[in-house]
Amino acid sequence: MHTEHVILFAGPMGAGKTAAISALSEIPVVSTEALNTDLAASAKLTTTVALDYGQITLEDGHVIRLYGVPGQERFEFVWKLLQTRAVGLVLLLDACAKDPVEDVDFFLDHFKELLRHGAAVVGVTRTDLAANEAFARCCARLRQHHERIPVFEVDARDRAQMVVLLTALITLVQMRETELEAN
Amino acid sequence: MTSAVQTKSKVFQALCQESLRQLVADTAGVENACLVTGDGLEVAAVLAQNVSASRLGAMTSSIHALGSAITKELKMKDCRSVIVDGESGSLVMVQLPTTRVQLVLAVTCSQRATVGGALFAAKQHARWISEKLSAT
């Protein structure tokens, strides 16, 4: 029997979570978009307020349930609700954000429960638009946090890139499951 | 028409606050009322001391958005209201009609009130606020 995995897509507002799930999903995405009225936080028109839901079947038959969570801290209760069910985390970071390194600390801290029993990968988006060394700084910071979190430069709208990232995550999840079984 | 800027205007917020105050004062068993934007930011609130407007606001927008996702999935058009029926109280969430920026009114009530009564009162005030908005 093929197994099913719940994977969360988290990260700050505008990092590309909804775009990534839209690119990956083989079913019509369930979305909960509302008009963004907090224009000081982001200029984007809409924002996810509950979750995005999509689904993808990998080549080996694994069904992956993809949940995107809102980026704003006021929706932290959604993060808590979903991370108990998830086995993996895709953390998307926006290289053009005010301080992507601070975002690394913030989100790894909020998803530490998931990191304890699951695995994570990081995708840094919009690196082509960032004039600073955002990607290198994120990598350095992640090395300080956890030695087994791979980091990718990605375009969240690009299905092939997101499949690579997701496949890496599933491999890590399976390794983690083997580890936990052995203990 | 309502815009994101309008929801942040002091005049608009004062008008909403007064409407919520009346809703809580005039409806037996209604304990809290909170008006939030579709993305979960508080516009006005009349709350008991131990209730956080920011948390209730964010949860209201999430639950209402899930209701909208389900009605859309089932081809029922927009979600007008959501009812959460707890063992010792209930919560009704009503979307305001005819506003460009989505607004949701959340009202909680104790067992002293009927869910139908709270829903009726919430809808009345939602309509009243919408009418005032259209006129400004």
**SS3 assignment for chain B:** CCCHHHHCCHHHHHHHHHHHHHHHHHCCCEEEEEEEECCCCEEEEECCCCCCHHHHHHHHHHHHHHHHHHHHHCCCCCCCEEEEEECCEEEEEEECCCCCCCEEEEEEECCCCCHHHHHHHHHHHHHHHHHHHHHC
For the stretch B83-130, pLDDT in tens is 999 999 999 999 998 767 899 999 999 999 999 999 999 999 999 999
The whole-chain average pLDDT of chain A stands at: 92
For residues B89 and B31, what is the distance between their CA atoms, to the nearest angstrom?
10
> Does B66 sit within 8 Å of A37, measured CB to CB?
no
Measured in angstroms, the CA of A28 and the nearest CA of chain B are apart by: 10
Q: Supply the pLDDT for residue A121.
A: 96
Is there a contact between A50 and A70 (Cβ–Cβ < 8 Å)? yes
| Number of domain units in chain A | 1
For A33, nearest residue in chain B (alpha carbons): B65
Length of chain A: 183
| Angle at alpha carbon of residue A123, lines to A111 and A87, rounded to 5° | 40
Q: How confident is the model at residue A58 (pLDDT cuts 50, 70, 90)?
A: confident
Place of tokens 């909208």: B68
On chain B, the residues whose CB falls within 8 A of the CB of A78 are 62
Q: How confident is the model at residue A61 (pLDDT cuts 50, 70, 90)?
A: confident
Averaged pLDDT, B11-39: 95
| Angle at alpha carbon of residue B46, lines to A43 and B35, rounded to 5° | 35
A132 or A119, which is more confident: A119
What is the ipTM for the molecules in this complex? 0.87
Report how many Cβ contacts below 8 Å link chain A to chain B.
Answer: 67
Q: Supply the pLDDT for residue B99.
A: 66
Q: How confident is the model at residue B37 (pLDDT cuts 50, 70, 90)?
A: very high
Of B59, B73, B101, the CB nearest to A37: B101
Is there a contact between B31 and B24 (Cβ–Cβ < 8 Å)? yes
Q: Supply the pLDDT for residue A83.
A: 93
Q: How confident is the model at residue A173 (pLDDT cuts 50, 70, 90)?
A: very high
Averaged pLDDT, A46-71: 94
Model confidence at B4: pLDDT above 60: yes
Q: Which residue segment(s) compose the domain that A118 sits in?
A: 4-182
Place of tokens 């290289």: A95
B1 touches chain A (CB under 8 A): no
B9 CA to centre of own chain: 18
> Does B40 sit within 8 Å of A74, measured CB to CB?
yes
For residues B92 and B62, what is the distance between their CA atoms, to the nearest angstrom?
13
Of B66, B73, B102, the CB nearest to A50: B66
> Does B69 sit within 8 Å of A37, measured CB to CB?
no
Q: What percent of chain A has pLDDT over 70?
A: 96
For residues B55 and A80, what is the distance between their CA atoms, to the nearest angstrom?
13
Averaged pLDDT, A79-95: 95
Averaged pLDDT, B6-26: 91
Entry pTM: 0.90
Model confidence at A60: pLDDT above 90: no
> Does B39 sit within 8 Å of A49, measured CB to CB?
yes
* CATH code, domain carrying A67: 3.40.50.300
Domains along chain B with CATH numbers: 4-135 (3.30.450.30)
A106 touches chain B (CB under 8 A): no
On chain B, the residues whose CB falls within 8 A of the CB of A33 are 65
What is the widest separation between alpha-carbon atoms in chain B? Answer: 41
Is there a contact between A42 and A14 (Cβ–Cβ < 8 Å)? yes
Model confidence at B1: pLDDT above 50: no
Of B8, B54, B65, the CB nearest to A49: B65
Query: SS3 for chain A, per residue?
Result: CCCEEEEEEECCCCCCHHHHHHHHCCCCCECCEEECCCCCCCCCCEEECCCEEEEEECCCCCEEEEEECCCCHHHHHHHHHHHCCCCEEEEEEECCCCCHHHHHHHHHHHCHHHHHHCEEEEEEECCCCCCCCHHHHHHHHHHHHCCCCCEEEECCCCHHHHHHHHHHHHHHHHHHHHHHHHC
Q: Supply the pLDDT for residue A13.
A: 95
Interhelix angle for A159-182 vs A17-24, to 10°?
90
For residues B77 and B136, what is the distance between their CA atoms, to the nearest angstrom?
28
